[in-house]
Structure 1
Amino acid sequence: MYTARSSATLQFGRNMALQLHRLLRQPRGASVCHPRRSFNTSSPWFSGHNKWSTIKHDKAKKDKGKSKERQMVSREISSATQLWGADPKYNPRLTLALSNAKRASIPKTVIEAAILRGQGLSVTGQALENVTIEAMLPGSVAAVVECQTDQKARVLQDIRHIIKDNGGTVTPTTFLFEKKGRVVMEKKDGLNADDYLDQAIEAGATDLVMDDKERLVVFTDPSETKRVGEAFSKLSGLTIEELEIFWDPNPDTLVDVQDEEQVKDLEDLLSALRDDHTVQDIYMNSTQKF
């Protein structure tokens, strides 16, 4: 027999059960949240980087280094050919340059073109013409691009296109530079620039210094480069190692590129220019070497 108290307790229990049943049947989006465990089988993503992007970055860096090395070796071959001829048997400097080219895995077509260029000829046997293109590059770096070609109009169009497509602007810049002649002599132990000042003055040089490889470097008027170099070589008894006409940036116009994005854009543009076989030299007024 149930008492009044036990009857009330039973009714209270029924009410609680009914409320719990209603709560459990509440529609989705109600305020009551039910904890739930889920499983995820997707691959983890780390900081936005993956193996492919790393490979692409490393490859691009190596390609830039190769294009710069290819340009330097080609220039060395052309210079040696211009000074002492195209026959390696009688040109030890050319023999060394060809050895460096082989070590750097420079393609045979590039080597042959460099030898012909040293003789003032293109691969088709046509006479080469010098082409100068002025531009402002990323980071407000002024540049003078020197090319050699037998198709001037086409090269002007191609190089301007490369510069514009890589964030540069074709505009006059040579007023920020001074054109000079430079003759680098062979290295010998114990050389001192002061000991050769008289010979340099007699030969017609405008300046005489030692470079970072401890070689004597004679500076001249551009139109007198070869004559002064040969005269100094005869007076000093030293052999000419390099001879060139170049654009020297004025000291008060030098630019220091600090922004990493601008540095990358500049490197990409230079790499694209160096991949063009007509480009011989790129002179810039930046404090950094690229």
Structure 2
Amino acid sequence: MASLARSIVIGPLFRSSSKSTSSSICAQCRRTFVSSPALQSGHNKWSKIKHEKAAADAKKNAARTVFTKNITLYSKLYGPNLNDNPQLATIVAAAKKAGTPKALIEGAIARGQGKSSEGATLEPVIYEAIVPPNIALVVDAATENTKRVIEDLNQMVKKANGAKSPSKFLFERRGRVIFEKGESDLDVDDIMEDAIEAGAEDLENDEEGNIIVWSDPSSTQQICKAVGSKFNLKIAESDIVWHAIEDTKAPLDSSEELVKFMDLLTSIKDYPDVQAIWSNVSRGNMSDDEWARVTELIDE
């Protein structure tokens, strides 16, 4: 009986305590809710800062990529010595002024000679893959550790739900030299005879008026030297390209696949041993900004 009495007394006290605790928790909830806009505001501000920083970093990395690519080109064409290679000296000076790290500049010069910054011989690597929705990639790289590069690229492609797979058959291998128009009034007709004699197969102008010379891959250096020197034309690019066959191009729409594709291209582009990325992607249903971003990340 005493035990029953105690339970009757204790019961209300317990319920009262529980109610008090519940009220206390609710009060805390209300206080947290009231203060949450300030936390959200700070979060939004930090997100904006992060996005602006990411955009600035992307722009800086793109500029550095252009510098290092041109440094490698002029080192390959005219030698690594700045005193004997005014074109190389000019682009190196511009890269330094833009804040390109010394290590990147020295690495680009060495790469033009087929060497790493430590002097090791670089081996060419051609990596092929297919990523959703059935888009082909060919990645050109030069490295002293082929196995490491392939393993790293495999991981990037796998993250994008793609796979290492033959894709070169969807492209044709061509040599391409782009001469800057600059202040010159020269046009395709003016250099055609000399370009053909040096091995050119086709010539055209791009939208900016630059002269593009297509050739067999083995003729690019001869065209650079013969045509560039004679007409005093600045070489914007000299590449052996993987040119997508028109009938094999794969459209990509604005979607989650597009986001993953751009993330993949960014990762590959930032990989230090990668020289170029070629793709048969074509513009599907996406915005101008999205397509512009894609074309910035691939070599055409």
Fold match by TM threshold 0.5: yes
* Secondary structure class of the residue paired with 1:50: helix
Give the counterpart of 2:49 among 44, 47, 55: 55
Give the counterpart of 1:105 among 85, 90, 99: 99
Q: Which has the higher contact order (CA 8 A, sep 6+)?
A: 1
1:134-173 aligned at under 5 Å gives the runs 134-173=128-167
Q: Deviations over 1:181-240 (max 9, x none)?
A: 112235352222123333333322110112333232211111232234434446x53446
Contact 1:218 / 1:229 at 8 angstroms: preserved in 2?
no
* Secondary structure class of the residue paired with 1:214: coil
The reply to whether residue 223 of structure 1 matches residue 234 of structure 2 is no
Q: Report the counterpart of residue 35 of structure 2 in structure 1.
A: 42
1:68-107 aligned at under 5 Å gives the runs 68-107=62-101
The reply to whether residue 258 of structure 1 matches residue 228 of structure 2 is no
Q: Report the counterpart of residue 7 of structure 1 in structure 2.
A: none
Structure 1 residue 148: Cα displacement: 0.5
Give me the whole-angstrom Cα distance separating, in 2, the residues matched to 1:264 and 1:65: 18
* Secondary structure class of the residue paired with 1:206: strand
Q: Report the counterpart of residue 35 of structure 1 in structure 2.
A: none
Cα 1:140–1:103 shift into 2, 3 Å: farther
The structure number with the bigger radius of gyration is 1
Give me the whole-angstrom Cα distance separating, in 2, the residues matched to 1:233 and 1:76: 15
Long gaps (5+) in structure 2:
1-18, 20-29, 283-290
Give the counterpart of 2:194 among 195, 199, 215: 199
Cα 1:108–1:167 shift into 2, 3 Å: farther
Q: Report the counterpart of residue 174 of structure 1 in structure 2.
A: 168
Give me the whole-angstrom Cα distance separating, in 1, the residues matched to 2:44 and 2:205: 48
Contact 1:146 / 1:280 at 8 angstroms: preserved in 2?
yes
Contact 1:191 / 1:215 at 8 angstroms: preserved in 2?
no
Give me the whole-angstrom Cα distance separating, in 1, the residues matched to 2:158 and 2:63: 24
Structure 1 residue 134: Cα displacement: 0.9
1:231-270 aligned at under 5 Å gives the runs 231-233=226-228, 237-239=231-233, 241=235, 242-270=237-265
* Secondary structure class of the residue paired with 1:142: strand
* Secondary structure class of the residue paired with 2:250: coil
Q: Report the counterpart of residue 282 of structure 1 in structure 2.
A: 277
Cα 1:75–1:225 shift into 2, 3 Å: same
Contact 1:138 / 1:265 at 8 angstroms: preserved in 2?
no
Structure 1 residue 139: Cα displacement: 4.6
Structure 1 residue 138: Cα displacement: 4.5
Give the counterpart of 1:123 among 108, 117, 127: 117
Contact 2:191 / 2:227 at 8 angstroms: preserved in 1?
no
Identity of paired residues, percent? 38
Structure 1 residue 260: Cα displacement: 4.1
Q: TM-score, normalised by structure 2?
A: 0.74
Give me the whole-angstrom Cα distance separating, in 2, the residues matched to 1:55 and 1:65: 15
Give me the whole-angstrom Cα distance separating, in 1, the residues matched to 2:90 and 2:223: 25
Give me the whole-angstrom Cα distance separating, in 1, the residues matched to 2:58 and 2:102: 20
The structure with the largest helix share of the pair is: 2
CA RMSD of aligned residues (A): 2.8
Long gaps (5+) in structure 1:
1-27, 29-37
4+ residue runs over 6 A deviation: none
Q: TM-score, normalised by structure 1?
A: 0.76
Contact 2:137 / 2:167 at 8 angstroms: preserved in 1?
yes
